[in-house]
């Protein structure tokens, strides 16, 4: 029996070590290498049989307005937290306990982990993996790099991925030339990029744009990670 438990422990240790090494190989190179694609893009292409519009651009080619808009819309504590926003998680739990809908409390880092490595359908397994990869991303990369990666992989319309493709698809201009109003509309579609249209905003998206613009003014460009 002791031999059996030693054998089990030895294989569990090997599997754990292999998992850590695989994670490191997937995350650490992102310090220097631009990912050519993401898990979400490949699912859209091969599982959903859809076309992809995507063009990587460096952070300098993306307007600060869009960078600030996505922080204002999705994760206002992004410059301060280490991948997980405990205050937002507590708010989400309290809202659910009071009978409200269980809303997401994912940070930009968690959303990046999900887009790069995982799948859209919610599950506890996905959430655990999302938190695992988010922790590695925060330890391995700077905040500026995490934001650059996020802006280049987020879906901003059906099959439209990244700031450059989103700006050209919706506004026929590069991401570097987005106005605050356009940036707020793009950030506004992030919860549901396949049902909200930044180029033809409905009443809900217009209201969301107004709220995001107000949050952008409150935060200011000094809130962007350097």
The tens digit of pLDDT for each residue in 150-202 reads 999 999 999 999 999 999 999 999 999 999 999 999 999 999 999 999 999 99
Q: Where would I find the beta strands (DSSP E) of 70-214?
A: 155-157, 160-161
Residue 165 lies in a domain: yes
In a domain, residue 56? The reply is yes
For the chain, the straight-line distance linking the first and the last C-alpha, in angstroms and rounded, comes to: 56
CA distance 219 to 77: 10
Here the CATH number for the domain that contains residue 118 is: 1.10.3810.10
Say if residues 61 and 174 touch (Cβ distance below 8 Å): yes
pLDDT tens digits for range 58-102: 999 999 999 999 999 999 999 998 887 766 666 655 554 555 544
Quote the domain boundaries for residue 206. Answer: 2-27+37-223
The whole-number pLDDT of residue 98 equals 52
Average model confidence (pLDDT) across the chain:
91
**32, part of any domain:** no
pTM of the predicted structure, to 2 decimals: 0.91
Q: In whole angstroms, what is the distance from residue 208 CA to residue 55 CA?
A: 26
Residue 88 lies in a domain: yes
In a domain, 11, yes or no: yes
> Hey, which bits of the chain come out as E strands?
53-54, 155-157, 160-161
Q: How far apart are CA 143 and CA 137, in angstroms?
A: 9
C-alpha span between 152 and 156 (Å, rounded):
10
Rounded to whole angstroms, how far apart are CA atoms 222 and 8? 52
Q: Per the domain annotation, does 206 fall within a domain? A: yes
**Considering its fold, how many domains does the chain have in total?**
1
């Amino acid at each position: 029996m002791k031999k059996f438990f030693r054998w089990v422990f030895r294989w569990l240790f090997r599997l754990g070590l292999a998992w850590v090494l695989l994670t490191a190989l997937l995350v650490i190179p992102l310090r220097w290498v631009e990912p050519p694609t993401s898990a979400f893009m490949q699912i859209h292409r091969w599982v959903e049989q859809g076309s992809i519009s995507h063009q990587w651009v460096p952070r300098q080619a993306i307007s600060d307005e869009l960078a600030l808009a996505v922080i204002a819309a999705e994760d206002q504590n992004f410059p301060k937290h280490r991948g997980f926003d405990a205050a937002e998680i507590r708010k989400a739990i309290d809202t659910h306990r009071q009978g409200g809908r269980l809303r997401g409390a994912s940070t930009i880092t968690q959303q990046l982990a999900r887009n790069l490595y995982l799948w859209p359908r919610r599950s506890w397994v996905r959430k655990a993996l999302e938190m695992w990869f988010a922790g590695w991303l925060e330890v391995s990369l700077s905040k500026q790099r995490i934001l650059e990666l996020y802006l280049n992989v987020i879906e901003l319309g059906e099959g439209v991925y990244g700031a450059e493709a989103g700006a050209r698809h919706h506004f026929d201009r590069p991401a570097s030339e987005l106005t605050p109003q356009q940036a707020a509309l793009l950030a506004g579609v992030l919860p549901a990029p396949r049902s909200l249209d930044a180029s033809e905003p409905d009443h809900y998206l217009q209201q969301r744009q107004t709220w995001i613009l107000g949050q952008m003014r409150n935060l200011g460009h000094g809130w962007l990670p350097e």
